[in-house]
Structure formats: structure tokens, C-alpha cells
Structure 1
Amino acid sequence: MKIRSLFTMVGVLLLLVVPVKAETGAISPQSVVENMGAGWNLGNTLDAIPTEGSWNNPPVREETFDDIKEAGFESVRIPVTWTDHMGPAPNYVVEDAWMDRVEQVVDWAMDRDFYVVLNVHHDSWQWLI
């Protein structure tokens, strides 16, 4: 399942947990939480403002996910800031290049059977109350 399709289906994405290990059958939310195990946070990269690398962290590399898998983690949190990567109102279309990059990073994690927690980060100024 591709993140682009999920993002389109959800519309406003606040939090998404992708239980990739559940592809062979249904799984309850409780089971997902139990199976997520220890998690690792990919912070200060895709959530950096205005873009990846702005906070002096290198761009995410595919090998990073091999390293954290080897360290025993089962889930990964990937915070993403969309603010500087989308067009104006009323559609707020996300730039293709940014969506491609987010999808690439999520796919790298999913390819290694991580549970992925993708969350909108630093975009609270856009939330309607």
C-alpha cells in the first residue's frame, strides 16, 4: 500500500499507523500496539523547516532502516512537516517532489516490515479548531 494513496484517501492526515505485518490477514488495533514493540524516532529530518537537512541532519538514507532493524526496533515514527511543500488555498496541493520523498522514506521502512507511524508535525497553525 503506497503512502500517496493513503494520504489521498485520508485527506487531512494527522496520524497514520501502518501495520505492515498485517498484510496476510486482519489484525485488531490492540494487536498492532502489542506488536509494535520498541520504536525509533526519525526526528529532525523530514520535519525540519523549511526542508530536509535544514537542521544540519543529513538526508535520510535507506541504510538507516537496516541499522535500526538490526538494533531490534519494530516500529518507526516519521514526523513530516508539510508547510513549505504545498501550494496555496483552497487546495493546498503537496509538491510532487516532496510527496515522492516522503513516500520513498516510508517505503524503505515498510520494506523492512516496520510498523510506521507517520504524523503531521509543526503544521498546527493550519488546524481548524
Structure 2
Amino acid sequence: SGPFDGVTGQGGDTGIVQAMIDAKHPFVPFGGETENGFRKFCAAHAADGLKCSSAGTGPAQVAVAIKTAISALEGNVVPQSVKLPLAIVEDPNFKAGQDYFPDQSDNFFVGNSFPTCGINFTAQEIMGQTKENK
């Protein structure tokens, strides 16, 4: 119920910020996931005190896991542990079209590119998927 001096979340961050707005709670520093809506809020309200750090590996980590599993099934030696780079951005460096996408869904997770693993999904590719072109 507050007051809060800072917030950290792991998913649902867009809703947490919206709840703070609805409750008229002053903005505080916030560490959250890579949700597009959260990053949109961070960019829009930085001047109002919403100072954010947004980091995560995004859903594309599943593609890395599948590629690793297939490689193991093909008889290749695979590492016991894979560390993916974080897609991280912090205030004041949120850039539209790079770190968040104003015209895309709030529910989209940004940061789905792992070039060293051969995984390079853009926001437009992911959000452009439909049942017809999957």
C-alpha cells in the first residue's frame, strides 16, 4: 500500500507502473523486465521521476534452448551452462525504435536478439506474426 522508495519487478511491470499512476503514488526508481509497455512508461515519465533500469533475456531465450537441445540430440557436445547477454537499458538512454517500440503492443518483450547464437528476431518480425504466416 506504500509509500514505496523503489520498486523491482520481474514481469507485470507495465501494470505496476499503471497502479502507481492510478494510486497517485510519486514515481520512484524502478528495476524491471524488458516489457515494451514498461519501457514506454520509463521513457514517457523519466522527467516526472520514474527512473528505470530495464533488463532481461526475453522470450527468444527459448530459441537458444531449442537450438542447444537439437545440437545435443545430433550428438554434438554442448555446454552445461549458457549465459545469454542481457538486453539492458537505463534512464536516460531509452530510445524509441531501439529500446522500445511506441506503435507495438505493451505486452511485447524487447530484447530478442542473440547474434552469437544465431538468433536475431526484430520487434517487427515478432509482432508481425499471425496465425496465417506462422
TM-score for the superposition, normalised by structure 2: 0.26
Which structure: greater strand fraction?
1
Q: Which has the larger radius of gyration?
A: 2
Q: Between Structure 1 and Structure 2, which shows a larger proportion of helix residues?
A: 1
Higher relative contact order (CA 8 A, sep 6+): 1
